[in-house]
Structure 1
Amino acid sequence: MTKQQNIDDQGSLSALIEDLQVRIAFLDELVEQLNNQVALQNAEITDLKKQMQLLYRRVDASDLSEGIAEFDPLTNRPPHY
């Protein structure tokens, strides 16, 4: 192996290592962004679950039978007929 080939091999190896370092830095940034997004979505889902539980409790606590008239299709015809 000549000295020139050795220098070329070291240069290409150095370039490959630099390329890998750039890719790792990019992936680290991407993982951090995805982690932040997942954390935000988790907080949103938790908030939405609490809101749904509150709505379920309201529906269960209310008496829906009062104030709702029975519907008779023969006497209560919709306006478009």
Structure 2
Amino acid sequence: MFPKILHEECKVTKQQNLDEQASFSAPIEDLQVRIAFLDDLVDQLNEQLIIQGQELADLKKQMRILYQRVDASDISDGIAPFDPLTNKPPHY
């Protein structure tokens, strides 16, 4: 049906197309692997950020409680709060 030359040209072009597809698929697969890795990394970092946010909030609460305890003990002991502008250390 087809002349022999056209049939051979079709084989060559099909092989070239397959070679080109193979040459494109390797970089695409590499990019897909990198994207999957980066997605996983973003998820892990997001989880760590949430944990650190909770820890920071807990530490702020603890500091607030400690400041309240120090203020309460100073008042109950009759110690006036320290004012650096009016209360200079003795070596000045």
Question: Normalising by structure 1, what TM-score?
Answer: 0.72
Does 1:22 find its partner at 2:13?
no
Greater relative contact order: 1 or 2 (C-alpha under 8 angstroms, separation 6 or more)?
2
Cα distance in 2 between the residues matched to 1:15 and 1:36: 32
**What are the Cα deviations for residues 34-68 of structure 1, in whole angstroms up to 9, with x where unaligned?**
00111111100000000000001111111253xxx
Question: Normalising by structure 2, what TM-score?
Answer: 0.64
Q: Which has the larger radius of gyration?
A: 2
Q: Specify the alignment match of 1:54 in structure 2.
A: 65
Q: Specify the alignment match of 1:76 in structure 2.
A: none
Q: Specify the alignment match of 1:42 in structure 2.
A: 53
Structure 1: stretches of 5+ with no match in the other structure: 66-81
Cα distance in 2 between the residues matched to 1:12 and 1:52: 60
Q: Specify the alignment match of 1:71 in structure 2.
A: none
Q: Which amino acid aligns with 1:40?
A: I
Return structure 1 stretches of 4+ with deviation > 4 angstroms. Answer: none
Cα distance in 2 between the residues matched to 1:38 and 1:19: 28
Identify, as 1 or 2, the structure richer in helix.
2
Q: Which amino acid aligns with 1:17?
A: I
| RMSD, aligned α-carbons | 2.1
How far is the alpha carbon of 1:16 from its aligned partner?
A: 1.3
Q: Which amino acid aligns with 2:65?
A: L
